[in-house]
């Protein structure tokens, strides 16, 4: 729920007056996301439902933020497609990879995919920061972030597909 004002602020930031409010709101959203997971682990109230809702909320934030940035012509329309692809690939392949020793719950996380997901959560905040304080570098930062996330997504996909193929056909 807290994220919805963020989308408006993100839109307003790039269409109206530059404001630090978006950065503060973004920091609050990320902080609450980190704190809820930490508290669930600390108080031992983790659940599959909670993990699923967290992934859904994170993905929704990343995709909707990306769509706002696409609408404003700041990033390519391919970026939200990459996020969607990685989300579906993650959920579908986790069904088969969850039994590997490195999987702690119903999902299978690979390091590149996890880092690409984390970075995609930070993209709106990074771009807002650059736009407010060093706008001359906005296009460069957008391109670097998109290339980096795309490369991480490709490495993650190859790794997941290799492990999936290995598990399904070479038991």
Reported as a single tens digit per residue, the pLDDT across 130-152 is: 998 999 999 999 999 999 999 99
Task: Point out the least confidently predicted range of 15-19, 54-58, 110-114.
Answer: 15-19
Reported as a single tens digit per residue, the pLDDT across 22-40 is: 778 778 877 887 787 778 8
Task: Point out the least confidently predicted range of 48-52, 132-136, 157-161.
Answer: 48-52
Share of the chain above pLDDT 90, in %: 36
Given this model, what pLDDT does residue 22 score? 73
Element (H, E) at 125: helix 111-133
- Token readout for 70 is 């696409």
Residue length, the chain? Answer: 171
Please give the Cα distance from 1 to 72 (Å, whole number). Answer: 23
- CA 120: distance to chain centroid? 4
Given this model, what pLDDT does residue 101 score? 58
Given this model, what pLDDT does residue 52 score? 77
Given this model, what pLDDT does residue 24 score? 81
Using the predicted structure, report yes or no on whether residue 171 has a pLDDT greater than 90.
Answer: no
What is the pTM assigned to this prediction? 0.83
**Residue environment code for 82-93, b if the CB has 16+ CB neighbours within 10 A, otherwise e:** bbeebbebbeeb
Using the predicted structure, report yes or no on whether residue 7 has a pLDDT greater than 80.
Answer: no
Given this model, what pLDDT does residue 109 score? 83
Share of the chain above pLDDT 70, in %: 90
């Amino acid at each position: 729920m807290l994220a919805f004002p963020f989308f408006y602020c993100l839109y307003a930031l790039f269409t109206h007056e530059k404001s630090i409010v978006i950065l503060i709101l973004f920091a609050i959203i990320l902080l609450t996301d980190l704190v809820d997971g930490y508290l669930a682990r600390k108080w031992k109230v983790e659940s599959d439902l909670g993990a699923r809702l967290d992934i859904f909320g994170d993905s929704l934030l990343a995709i909707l933020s990306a769509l706002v940035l696409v609408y404003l012509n700041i990033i390519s329309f391919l970026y939200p497609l990459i996020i969607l692809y990685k989300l579906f690939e993650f959920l579908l392949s986790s069904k088969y990879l969850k039994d590997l020793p490195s999987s702690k719950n119903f999902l299978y996380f690979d390091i590149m995919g996890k880092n690409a997901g984390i970075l995609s959560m930070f993209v709106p905040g990074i771009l807002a920061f650059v736009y407010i304080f060093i706008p001359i570098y906005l296009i460069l930062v957008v391109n670097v972030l998109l290339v980096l996330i795309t490369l991480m997504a490709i490495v993650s996909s190859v790794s997941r597909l290799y492990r999936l193929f290995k598990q399904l056909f070479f038991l």
